[in-house]
Every structure is written in C-alpha cells, then in structure tokens.
Amino acid sequence: MAERATHRQVIIVGSGPAGYTAALYTARANLQPLMIGGYQAGGQLMLTSDVENYPGYPKGVQGPEMMQDFREQVERFGAEVLDVDATEVDFSKRPFTVVTADETYTAESIIVATGAAAKWLDVPGEELLRGRGVSACATCDGFFFRDRRIVVVGGGDTALEEALFLTRYAQTVSVIHRRDTLRASKLLQQRARNNPKIDFIWNSVVEAIEGEDKVTGVRLRNLVSGERRTLTTEGVFVAIGHQPNTEIFRGQLDLDALGYVCMPDPATTYTNIPGVFAAGDVRDHRYRQAVTAAGDGCKAAIDAERWLEEQGIAEPDREFEVYSEPEFAARSR
Ligand code: NAP
C-alpha cells in the first residue's frame, strides 16, 4: 500500500455533512483532501434515527446510513478519511499543522468542520432512549410526535423555539425549567405564554427518563419543595444549549463568547487566519441543519480552492474550467 502523504493542499477536520461536502468538492477539484474525521466520525447525525428533511431521500434515511452514503461518495473521488481525532493544531504559520495520536500532518489550507454537540442532561434513561423519544432537535424529530404529549427541557431561546415549533405536531408541550424565570428573549416568552398548547413546569429538574424501548415518562424533582413525581410523556426534547467542538482551536482561531468560530465576513467561510476556513455548526448556531451544514461545506471548499489558486499553490482544475457562452454552446452541440 502506498504511504499516506503527510503534506496536503487541504486538510478537513471533522466529518459531519459540512466536512464530507467540503471533502467531496475539494476531491473533485483534484486537491486530494485528507479528512481527519474523528474516532466517532459522522457527527450529530450518528445519534439521529430517521432523517426526513434532507433532500434526495424521498423515503427518509437513518442518520448513520446517510453518513455512510456521504463517506462512500467522497471516497469514490479519492478523498482520504481517517477515523482519528485531531488532538492539536498550529495555525500560527504555513504550512499549518494538525496532530493526531500517531502522525503530524501539514497542509496549505484547512477546513474546520468539527460541528457542535447538543448538551445532554446526563440522567438515567437519556442515552438508552435517544432516538426513541429523546431528541435534541425539534426540526429533525418533531414530525414523529403528532398528537403526542411531550416535554421540552430548558429555559433559553432554543427551548422556547423548539417548544413553539413542536406545537405544530404535539397535543401539548410542557416546558420544564429549573428556575421560575426564563432566559429566553421577551418576544419568544410572549409567544410561548400565549400558545394554548404550551404550559410551564417551574423550578423543576428531570432526574430520570423512564421507558424501556420508548419514552413513557420523566421523573421530576421540584427544587423548591423537594417534591418528586412522574409526568407521563412520549417525547423529551432536551434544549439546554449546544457546545461547539472548538477546544483544540482555542488560542489558534478567534472564537466568540460561546466558543463558536468567529467569521469576519459571514457571507464567506473565511476565518481570521487566511487559509483556514470554517463550515457548518462550528460557526453557525442559528440554523444547525444537515443541509445548511452541507451547503457551508461546499462554500468552504470553493473558498479554499480559490484561495489556494490565488496563492499560486493549486492549479485551476481542467475539469471545472469555465467556458465562455459560445465555447460552451460549441462543446454542447
Ligand atoms: P442558553 O441560552 O444557554 O439556555 C440554556 C437553558 O438551559 C437555560 O435556560 C439553562 O437554565 C438551561 N440549562 C442549562 N443546563 C441545564 C441543565 N443541566 N439542566 C436543566 N436546565 C439546564 O442556550 P440556548 O437556548 O441554546 O441559546 C444559545 C444561544 O443561541 C443564546 O445566545 C441564544 O440567545 C441564541 N439563540 C437565539 C435564537 C434566536 O434568536 N431565535 C434561537 C436559539 C438560540 P438557566 O436559565 O437556569 O441557566
């Protein structure tokens, strides 16, 4: 087997829809990308069951199966995917450095696509029932809760947005919050309070999620009275925030107060370091969808390819040469 080149034109760190799409486009632009995908490659979709909102899958698809499709597609075009974690990076000089447990790689450009992870409650039953009534994404899973009684945990903007969205499907949505004051914006509070399907359970925490093969209830503790009770529910949406996976970029890239990568021009994927691009949930806490992340990965690949060309590092790819209209018409005849 040929030895793997440790110096690349582009290295992609992360392997969700953003990373794979960046790999697809850079591979097809002959940039021979290396993707450092992580030991748990595939990102948040590996924790999702049915995906019904990704275009091109008319019958829906399981999250892990979709990630396998993404992988096969990028490998077909020669992208190399490593199932190892990046443990350290050095973006202070070019070529940039990405370190894994057993190798140090260098690259002229980097695409950061490490995503974000939903914060979980870390209570009994939560992990077991994830995808079987426990979710952290109303847009992805709300549809499966038509006419059900469900709960949302959290008191911030995400919790109320999720609760409002879920009222389209659910019979009732109970928002469980650990205090008696919401953190969410006044506007969302007003909308939620005015929605007849939403009620609030204050000063309460979920101590356990009950059910064997699907959720049947949550065990609640009131933090003021100490009272414990079980609330019957068929769905638990955990909305206590997300954590961008940016620990290894701290001190290397500009991050905002929440840890997301700062984008000097959000219309592009440029970061504060020329040659380092960021795509997907690692830079976006607004949309957080597989399809928006994939779109961002495409943008990052195009930005990286053009940037490499501008530096005189990558040759424009013949296959994607732009023809004038008469040339194009002549070739199409
Ligand atoms: P957030 O503002 O950090 O709110 C998290 C909520 O979860 C808080 O109410 C917090 O309670 C609660 N919480 C945290 N850990 C908990 C735990 N272990 N158990 C129970 N409850 C817990 O997160 P977010 O709502 O995801 O919002 C993140 C950022 O994105 C915010 O800046 C937000 O404004 C923004 N955002 C904006 C929009 C919008 O503008 N439409 C939509 C979504 C998000 P406490 O209140 O007691 O701390």
Q: Which domains does the chain have, with CATH numbers?
A: 7-117+242-328 (3.50.50.60), 134-238 (3.50.50.60)
What is the 137 CA–ligand 1 centroid distance (Å)? Answer: 14
What pLDDT is attached to residue 49?
A: 65
Establish whether residue 161 lines the binding site of ligand 1, counting it when its CB lies within 6 angstroms of any ligand atom. Answer: yes
What is the 155 CA–ligand 1 centroid distance (Å)? Answer: 6
- The alpha carbon of residue 220 and the mean position of all alpha carbons in its chain are separated, in whole angstroms, by 30
Give the residues across from 13 on adjacent strands: 36, 112
Tell me the pLDDT tens digit for each residue of 77-123. 999 999 999 999 999 999 999 999 999 999 999 999 999 988 999 99
Nearest residue (CA) to ligand 1, atom 4: 156
The count of residues in the chain is: 333
- The alpha carbon of residue 108 and the mean position of all alpha carbons in its chain are separated, in whole angstroms, by 25
Establish whether residue 221 lines the binding site of ligand 1, counting it when its CB lies within 6 angstroms of any ligand atom. Answer: no
Whose CA is closest to 153, among 143, 163, 144, 145?
A: 163
Establish whether residue 243 lines the binding site of ligand 1, counting it when its CB lies within 6 angstroms of any ligand atom. Answer: no
> What's the average model confidence in pLDDT over 313-322?
53
Residue 321: pLDDT band (50, 70, 90) is: very low
Q: For residue 110, give both structure tokens.
A: 């980097």
What pLDDT is attached to residue 173?
A: 98
CB 36 within 8 A of CB 10: no
Nearest residue (CA) to ligand 1, atom 23: 241
Tell me the pLDDT tens digit for each residue of 141-182. 899 999 999 999 999 988 999 999 999 999 999 999 999 999
Catalytic residues: 137, 140-141
> What's the average model confidence in pLDDT over 207-230?
98
What is the 162 CA–ligand 1 centroid distance (Å)? Answer: 11
Q: What is the mean pLDDT of the chain?
A: 92
Establish whether residue 183 lines the binding site of ligand 1, counting it when its CB lies within 6 angstroms of any ligand atom. Answer: yes
Establish whether residue 241 lines the binding site of ligand 1, counting it when its CB lies within 6 angstroms of any ligand atom. Answer: yes
CA atoms within 13 A on the CB side of 4: 15
Q: Which strands sit side by side in the sheet containing 172-176, from one edge to the other? A: 134-135, 235-238, 149-153, 172-176, 198-201
What pLDDT is attached to residue 329?
A: 52
Under DSSP, is residue 27 helix (H, G, I), strand (E, B) or coil?
helix
- Cβ neighbours of residue 165 closer than 8 Å, sequence gap 6 or more: 138, 139, 142
Phi, psi of 230 (to 5 degrees): -105, 130
